[in-house]
Amino acid sequence: MKILVTAKRVVDPDSKIQIADTQTSIELDDVDFRVNYFCENAIEAALELQDEHDAEVVVCSIGNEDAIQTIRTGLAMGGDRGILVEAEDEVLDGDLVARTLAKLYEQEKPDIFLLGKQAIDGDSNQVGQLLAEYLSLPQACFASNIDIIEDGAVARVEREVDGGIETIDVDLPCIITADLRLNEPRYASLPGIMKAKRKKIEEFELDDLELDTTLKVVTRSMELPAGRQAGVMVSDVDELVNKLKSEAKVL
């Protein structure tokens, strides 16, 4: 079995975010980066399947050369090898990312392509679905549990839907996107980090993949949420209720 899994490099949400002068991107100089949380769940799921089904786990990322570190984190967790497609964020949109990953699918022919359900920076939540469409493969998105059944022919996936769990079966090969409750991702261990140093990472330029790189979505502007207004002290409950009725108009 072979599993291809994504490791997107995103800004650590604990960093202080500032908008760049262009107003269309985030200032990246003084922020920390990490592997997208949902990708970490996807990697963990891949590594659990690696143990159970002797699968090869290939960790891929699209990004600038620093995304190598993100792939290495996946390899330090236990991935077997990596693929980087070098491209700056500015030249990508969700659709192009999906078409790029489709090219990697064609090269690697994995049994399962695992992704995070969305990236915590763009929050688009579309790449897994688009990828399934482009490849004409079955998709199981927002997975909270994955079992491979029928001798590796079928993935039984539990999905968190409003108010409950839906269980679906999809034939392999398939696309699965990971939700937070799928698992508890392991930490990269020191021996894992040392081993990852020697694992192979293949690198491509976006141009090598012969894609139409015209963007379908262009970011026009970004703005931070308005600062919080100072609060008002009220002297008693009556005044509070009064204000909620007359000023806030929420009662």
Partner 1 sequence: MSNGRIRSRYYTKEHEAFRSSLRRFVAKEITPNIPTWEEAGRFPRELYAKAANIGLLALGFPEEYGGTSVDGFYQLILTEELSRCGSGGLVAGLMSHGIGAPPIASMATAELKAEVLPRILSGQSISALAISEPGGGSDVAQLRTTAKRDGDSYVVNGEKTFITSGMRADYITTAVRTGGEGMGGVSLLLIPGDSSGLSRTELKKMGWWCSDTATLHFDDCRVPSRYLLGPENAGFMGIMQNFNNERLFIAVMAWAFAQLCFEEALTWAKDRKTFGKPLIRHQVLRHKLVDMRTALEGTRASLEDLTWRVDQGEWPVAEVCMMKNRATQCMELCAKEAVQILGGLGYMQGSISERVYRETKVLAIGGGAEEIMKELAARQLGWLT
Site for partner 1, residues 73 to 92, rule: CB under 8 A: 73, 76
163 versus 191: smaller Cβ distance to partner 1: 191
Which of 120, 188, 211, 215 forms a contact with partner 1 (CB under 8 A)?
A: 188
* Residues pairing with 142 in the sheet: none
Question: What is the CB-side half-sphere exposure of residue 22 using CA atoms within 13 A?
Answer: 8
Q: Least Å distance between CB 15 and partner 1?
A: 8
Q: 64, 69, 129, 213: which one contacts partner 1 (CB under 8 A)?
A: 69
Q: Which stretch binds partner 1 (CB under 8 A): 48-56, 131-139, 180-188, 206-214?
A: 180-188
193 near partner 1, judged by CB under 8 A:
yes
Contacts with partner 1, 26-65, as mask; x by CB under 8 A = -----xxxx-------------------------------
- Nearer Cβ to partner 1, position 66 or 205? 66
Does 178 interact with partner 1 (rule: CB under 8 A)?
Answer: no
Instruction: In angstroms, give the least distance from the CB of 11 to partner 1.
Output: 9
Q: What is the DSSP string of the chain?
A: -EEEEE--EEE-TTSPP-B-TTSSSB--TT--EEE-HHHHHHHHHHHHHHHHH--EEEEEEEESTTHHHHHHHHHHHT-SEEEEEE--GGG--HHHHHHHHHHHHHHH--SEEEEESS-TTT----HHHHHHHHHT--EEEEEEEEEEETTTTEEEEEEEETTEEEEEEEESSEEEEE-GGG--PPPPPHHHHHHHTTS-EEEEEGGGG------S-------PPPPPPPP---SSHHHHHHHHHHTS---
Minimum distance of partner 1 from residue 24's CB (angstroms): 22
Q: How far is the CB of 176 from partner 1 (least distance, A)?
A: 25
According to CB under 8 A, which one of 16, 65, 187, 231 is a site residue for partner 1?
187
Nearest distance from C-beta of residue 112 to partner 1, angstroms: 25
Provide, rounded to whole angstroms, the least separation between the CB of residue 190 and partner 1: 3
Q: How far is the CB of 168 from partner 1 (least distance, A)?
A: 32
Within 10 Å of residue 98's Cβ, how many Cβ atoms? 21
Pick the binder of partner 1 from 192, 202, 215, 243 (CB under 8 A): 192
Site membership for partner 1, residue 180 (CB under 8 A): no
How far lies 185's CA from each of 38, 112, 148, 178, 196, in Å? 10, 19, 19, 11, 17
Task: Give me the residues that bind partner 1 (CB under 8 A), please.
Answer: 12, 31-34, 66, 69, 72-73, 76, 186-194, 196-197
